[in-house]
Amino acid sequence: MAGLTKGMIADVHKKREINLPEDFFKNAELEGMKAAMVIYFERSGEVRLIPMMKEGGARVRLEVEKVNPALMQTMTQLFKHHDLKVLFTTGFCFEENRCIYEVYFSADKIRDKEPDIRRTIESIPGLYESEFEILEIGHEW
């Protein structure tokens, strides 16, 4: 009987590369896959791999007064306007009026969209700091 998932245990101390199962490449849901986003969680050490149907992507990190509906509405409009496919989001508040919101997304022609994305991010009310990092195939850790 086929399962929902596959698992394995890898000795990452002896071999740092991990091979993906052949079924990954045969998966009909991933037809047209152009790349995969790999996200490393610095605190927990967890690594996620997310298939992408677009050629590039980016990470946006916002430090804001609070994660509120206005922020989420601005980000949603940004994603829709530029055809950005959200792959992963996370966030937490470490003080009463200071929160971190991070989002990874994939997009075609991300460099062309960068100026407008940056302008939109800088217009967010209650923004303390922001980072916009383009992620491209071939540029690794």
Residue 138: partners with Cβ closer than 8 Å, 6 or more residues away: none
Q: In what order do the strands lie in the sheet with 127-135?
A: 85-95, 98-107, 56-64, 127-135
Report, at the CATH architecture level, how domain 56-135 is classified: 2-Layer Sandwich (3.30)
Phi, psi of 69, rounded to the nearest 5 degrees: -55, -35
Residue ranges for the chain with pLDDT beneath 50: none
Q: What is the pLDDT of residue 2?
A: 62
Beta pairing partners, 61: 102, 131
Pairwise CA distance, residues 141 & 138, whole Å: 10
Domain boundaries, the chain: 56-135
Nearest C-alpha neighbor of 123 from the set 84, 86, 85, 70: 70
- pLDDT given for residue 68 in this prediction: 86
Distance CA 99, CA 94 (A): 6
| Whole-number pLDDT of residue 1 | 53
The residue type at 27: N
Tens of pLDDT, residues 34-52:
999 999 999 899 999 999 9
